[in-house]
Structure 1
Amino acid sequence: MDPIPSGTLWSPPPTAPMLAVPGPLPVPDSGWAFETKWDGVRCIATTTGDGSVRLASRAGNDITVSYPELQALGRELRGRGVVLDGEIVALDASGHSDFGLLQSRMGVVDPRRAGRLALGCPAHLMIFDVMYLDGLGLLSATYGERREILSALGLTGAHWSAPPNVHGRGSQVWDAVVREGLEGVVAKRLSSPYLPGTRSAHWRKTKRVETLDVVIGGWTQRRGAATGVPGAVLVGVAGPAGLRYAGSVGSGMSEREQGELAAYFAVIARASSPFTDRVDVAGAHWVEPRLVAEVTASEWTRAGRLRHPVWQRLRPDLTRLG
């Protein structure tokens, strides 16, 4: 693609981000590129050439005030009308995105408070696509072409960067992600156009999950179901002082499993919590910690809770009902 000449001030059209579908890594992978999946807030960054930048969330909400440190990106692109796609993250000491850190920055609408938070927990914009440059639309350009244009912009700053991608070698990228404990991989077809607001099979996300055994110590009632039928279970893991609370798991349970658990809970009910730490869950019912379940989760939060836990199965081989 020929270089695009620098333009003047322009009024960009609203642009919703293109979305990936969940799935396994593509095989064969020669026509694909692979990127790290960042755990943060999706962001469309728009500059009109006057030195300012507007940040919009995936839903189109204006989040510019929340991240004042990203205003310098507009000054770097002064004189150019650009629309970029990326992910706002907060990085921990090892350079990994930490959603727990970012949560303190989200939804802040007071400029002074946002400025104070930026000093203690700075945000970083991971830029992985460009939809407009100097007012010219790039939506019909291929992903490979758009990445070349993005790379030529040289967007590297204290609070933003365009991380590299890898052509082919998807299994090697996956091995590196697992080894480093990152969230996952996004595979993008090199020939794909940018499809705003569309969840397309041209982009595929594969998340790394952890599988672990947890002990059920309580449950909450399922809405609209008969009394005693759980909608979620409260689970824990062994800690130095006993059973440590690890979170609530409701996603993934079938009606059959909920009925099976209800029968167990009626037998092993108890009056007080079996967890050593406080569990602040409304309407919690407690049970003796005898049932063991297998769950998956994306990671542990800083508070020691499972993030995005999903029920897999009851482990009768590890359950102690006697």
Structure 2
Amino acid sequence: MTLPFIAPMLATSGTLPPVAQDARWAYETKQDGQRAVVYLPGDGSVMLRARSGEDITAAYPELRPLGDALGGTPAVLDGEVLALDDEGRADFQLLQPRMGLVQAPARAARLAAKTPVHLVLFDVMHLAGRSLTALPYTRRRVGLERLGLEGPFWSTPSALVGHGREALEATRAHGLEGLVCKRLDSAYEPGVRSRAWIKIRNMRTADVLVGGWQPGRGRLTGLPGAVLVGQRAAGRALRYVGSVGTGWSEAERAGLAELLRAAATDACPFDPEPSAPGAHWVLPRLVGEVRFSTRTRAGLLRQPSWLRLRTDLTPEESAADLPDTPA
């Protein structure tokens, strides 16, 4: 059967629905992976398309048996491809080596045998020749769960109706990326970033030492486009943890530029020295507070943004309570 192309529905960043409306929403864990629309023609084959529409099936050979999971019933499903760490949590860094292997099936097969991915399914948009996109979320969700799609490399986690605050706190307590809130009466809107789906990303903060900067371009010429930041436990070498390029107003960026020039040095303060083309090094005496989502396995901050300059802290005070190893 020829299945219709369906672009994935997208969530809008936001906050929890009002308490008075809590019972009108379902809550699902926000996963840190690669979005995939799954096409099951009912002939034993399977095709996975990324959010861009690219065919990514060859990158995940361990998911091919899913083609037989519904027998001859054709379907289009929505989900997320994950790579799980030793504690069963999604780790985007583990997934990255798999994402570019569409044209390298032999290598994809080797990595699949070593570190298989897991596909989380959370919606069904087409089933047995019928479009379900106009149906409310609740009916689509019931239909998805009735399919019984549980296998060695795929599953259909349950969704929680109501209790949004508790659900969000649970994701924070377990170190998960966040929460997706879905209105129970919402249709599936292909390709639309809709307010009927709200994503909430758990963000954390950390104090960092500024050890360098990279020049901006265009209107930012002569100003820092990004600062290079590090952390260390008391008495230890400064460990590079990332590049921060957002979070300033124009006035704050200009003020920071003056402080960076005053702290200029020829020696890189990081150990080991990071790969940072065009970097200008500074004495690590400026303390900043940054917001970030998670850390990579190497200890780098993911999605960092600048919050403020911590003039109330000395470099020694900022380092006093930092971990010796990445969190």
Superposed pair shares fold, TM > 0.5: yes
Q: Which amino acid in 1 is paired with 2:289?
A: E
Instruction: Say whether 1:135 aligns with 2:135.
Output: no
Please name the residue that 2:138 is paired with. Answer: 144
Question: In the alignment, is the contact (CA less than 8 A) between 2:287 and 2:313 conserved in 1?
Answer: yes
Q: Which amino acid in 2 is paired with 1:123?
A: V
Please name the residue that 1:106 is paired with. Answer: 99
Instruction: Say whether 1:255 aligns with 2:250.
Output: yes
Instruction: Say whether 1:74 aligns with 2:67.
Output: yes
Please state whether the residue corresponding to 2:176 is helix, strand or coil: coil
Q: Distance in 2 between matches of 1:190 and 1:39?
A: 23
Which residue of 228, 234, 244 corresponds with 2:228? 234
The change in CA–CA distance for 1:153 and 1:248 in structure 2 (over 3 A counts) is same
Aligned residues: 311
Q: Which amino acid in 2 is paired with 1:94?
A: E
Q: Which amino acid in 2 is paired with 1:25?
A: L
Which residue of 193, 207, 213 corresponds with 2:207? 213
Identity of aligned residues (%): 51
- 1:254-301: CA deviation from partner (whole Å, max 9, x where unpaired): 211110111111211000111111210100000010101111111110
Please name the residue that 1:118 is paired with. Answer: 112
Q: Distance in 1 between matches of 2:292 and 2:276?
A: 20
Instruction: Say whether 1:193 aligns with 2:184.
Output: no
Q: Distance in 2 between matches of 1:78 and 1:252?
A: 51
When the two chains are superposed, the root-mean-square deviation of aligned CA atoms in Å is: 1.1
Please state whether the residue corresponding to 2:11 is helix, strand or coil: strand
Instruction: Say whether 1:55 aligns with 2:64.
Output: no
Question: In the alignment, is the contact (CA less than 8 A) between 1:34 and 1:167 conserved in 2?
Answer: yes
Tell me by how many angstroms 1:228 deviates: 3.8
Which residue of 5, 19, 38 corresponds with 1:45? 38
Please state whether the residue corresponding to 2:93 is helix, strand or coil: helix
The change in CA–CA distance for 1:286 and 1:311 in structure 2 (over 3 A counts) is same
Moved over 3 A (4+): 225-228
Question: In the alignment, is the contact (CA less than 8 A) between 1:241 and 1:276 conserved in 2?
Answer: no
Q: How does 1:92-103 map to 2 (within 5 A)?
A: 92-103=85-96
Question: In the alignment, is the contact (CA less than 8 A) between 1:20 and 1:199 conserved in 2?
Answer: yes
Q: Which amino acid in 1 is paired with 2:18?
A: V
Q: Which structure features the higher share of strand residues?
A: 1
Tell me by how many angstroms 1:241 deviates: 3.0
Which residue of 17, 21, 27 corresponds with 2:12? 21
Please name the residue that 1:182 is paired with. Answer: 176
Q: How does 1:276-287 map to 2 (within 5 A)?
A: 276-287=271-282
Return the TM-score normalized by structure 1: 0.94
Q: Distance in 2 between matches of 1:81 and 1:256?
A: 57
Question: In the alignment, is the contact (CA less than 8 A) between 2:42 and 2:72 conserved in 1?
Answer: yes
Q: Distance in 2 between matches of 1:105 and 1:50?
A: 26
Instruction: Say whether 1:300 aligns with 2:295.
Output: yes
Once the two structures are overlaid, the 10-residue window that deviates more, 310-319 or 202-211, is: 310-319
The change in CA–CA distance for 1:58 and 1:227 in structure 2 (over 3 A counts) is closer
- 1:2-33: CA deviation from partner (whole Å, max 9, x where unpaired): xxxxxxxx211111000000001111311000
Instruction: Say whether 1:86 aligns with 2:79.
Output: yes
Q: Distance in 1 between matches of 2:197 and 2:223?
A: 39
Instruction: Say whether 1:224 aligns with 2:218.
Output: yes
Q: Which amino acid in 1 is paired with 2:95?
A: L
Question: In the alignment, is the contact (CA less than 8 A) between 1:31 and 1:190 conserved in 2?
Answer: yes
Please name the residue that 1:4 is paired with. Answer: none
Question: In the alignment, is the contact (CA less than 8 A) between 2:70 and 2:147 conserved in 1?
Answer: no
The change in CA–CA distance for 1:37 and 1:130 in structure 2 (over 3 A counts) is same
Q: Distance in 2 between matches of 1:103 and 1:248?
A: 19
The change in CA–CA distance for 1:171 and 1:281 in structure 2 (over 3 A counts) is same
Q: Which amino acid in 2 is paired with 1:92?
A: D
Q: How does 1:267-282 map to 2 (within 5 A)?
A: 267-282=262-277
Q: Distance in 2 between matches of 1:58 and 1:227?
A: 34
Please state whether the residue corresponding to 1:128 is helix, strand or coil: strand
Tell me by how many angstroms 1:148 deviates: 0.2
